[in-house]
Amino acid sequence: MAGRILIVDDQTGGRLCLRVRLTEARYDVTAAASGAEALAALASAPADLAIVDATLGDVPAAELCRRMKADPGLRDIPVLILSDSRDRAGRIAALRAGAEDVMAKPVLDAALLARVRSLLRVRETRSETRRRDQTAAGFGFAEAPASFEDPGRIALVAADAATGDRWRDGLGGLVPDRVEMLSPDAALDEADRARAADAFVIDADLPRPGGGLSLVTDLRSRPGTRHAAILFAHRDEDAGAGAAALDLGANDLLPVHADPAEIAIRLRAQLDRKRESDRLRRTVEDGLRLAATDALTGLFNRRYALAYLDRVAREAATRGQPYAVMLADLDHFKRVNDTLGHAAGDVVLRTVATRIRDALRGADMVARLGGEEFLIVMPETDFARALPAAERLCRAVADQPVPLAQGAGAQAASVRVTVSIGVAVGGGPGSDLFETPHALIEKADRALYRAKAQGRNTVTADRPEAA
């Protein structure tokens, strides 16, 4: 299953209809008939997303959301509220309570599923942020929360001057950040600035090929704007554009004629999330560089990796979800060192480390355990997802030769290398509750040994049917 979703609706028909739509999309769906039942269900089995009907009988949806956000164990769960009403005050109240979105019923399947996918990515990012912050704290490198945040920069990219003026004038006094109007070309130039805009509000109807959707894609593809918050403004009747924008990387959607208060609330939430992610990257890149990274490859080292794996295992046990462990080992690496020299071997290790890291999801962790062996940890991953990922890693390493710099094996311009990978999965339904992460590494090691014996450049799993 792709994610665990809790439906909260006191109408049986509404629960059943939504359950069918989400189950058909391969989500793990549970349901609650009241706010109190929802809180009890979340306390026993946290969800990845809560979809709440706005007209609950026992507690308003906004109040349920407020209670969830006040609970440290539930605050990272995104909340999507479905409402029969387009009441402005109720919509803004729900957003102020912490809801990620309020969608008007009836919701088209494409729009709903795109929003679900987007919010599950939010949940994954939040979980990874907490996990890495907690691991960093164990090393004594947790960053103290900033007591003061500099104002952000918000770029408005509207289809016409009237829309841009309305957005800018409406936000005046509602946000402490600097608000600028930019053309699409100027927005793209942000990627080359020393400090790019923190957030973009992009009109769907921009007068350029592909409209606003093409600008979303361009901003996400450029290093300078890759981590910016993107809000996509579209017309209510064009739900398809909104769904496409979410799948292309937009963080949030807005009606083009949204109330300024709603735009401000959504911008504030997205800027807060961006700052949290920025702090995480600074902690990892700066505070942990010496204590937790391998000097040669820039990957995490054994000490960090084992602490991280322990945390993933505890989280998996709490949530009843699987996680995968892989051991990847370079094939015939001694031959590289013996024939081309240790300088060439260092180039190979650095290149392979980069290829593995680039082929993984952002939520996955890769570390160099020592020598030519790498550990990969993939949260919320079963064999059905882990094995194709491992095959992808093999291809990423083997498809192109490693170029060697002058002086690093000067007798060869490049060298072809491959890896063998052993895979094991822990956690999830039917798992051994007493299995330790160390035991899972041993399973992956046995699988790796078999992969070597089967000819190398291959993937083998340690599981009952493979024993």
Separation of alpha carbons 148 and 166, rounded Å: 30
Q: Which two tokens stand for residue 166?
A: 């309305």
Distance, CA of 251 to CA of 201 (rounded, Å): 10
Total number of residues shown for the chain? 467
Instruction: Give bridge partners of residue 81 from the DSSP assignment.
Output: 52, 102
Q: Is the distance from CB of 220 to CB of 199 less than 8 angstroms?
A: no
10 Å CB burial of residue 378 (0-12, 13-18, 19+) is buried
Cα 148 versus chain centre, distance: 26
CA–CA distance, 230 with 216 (Å, rounded to integer): 7
Tokens 């003026």 correspond to 165
Q: Which of 379, 407, 376 is nearest to 390 (CA)?
A: 376
Distance CA 214, CA 157 (A): 13
- Return d(Cα 208, Cα 248) in angstroms, integer: 17
Spatial strand order of the sheet with 178-181 comes to: 178-181, 153-157, 199-203, 229-234, 252-255
Cis peptide before 46 (omega within 30 of 0): no
Contact assessment for residue 397 and residue 352, using Cβ atoms and an 8 Å cutoff:
yes
Query: Any idea which residues carry the catalytic annotation?
Result: 372
- Report which of 151, 150, 214, 149 is spatially closest to residue 187, judged by C-alpha positions: 214
* Residue 119: strand, helix, or coil: helix
Q: Are 300 and 366 in contact (CB under 8 A)?
A: yes
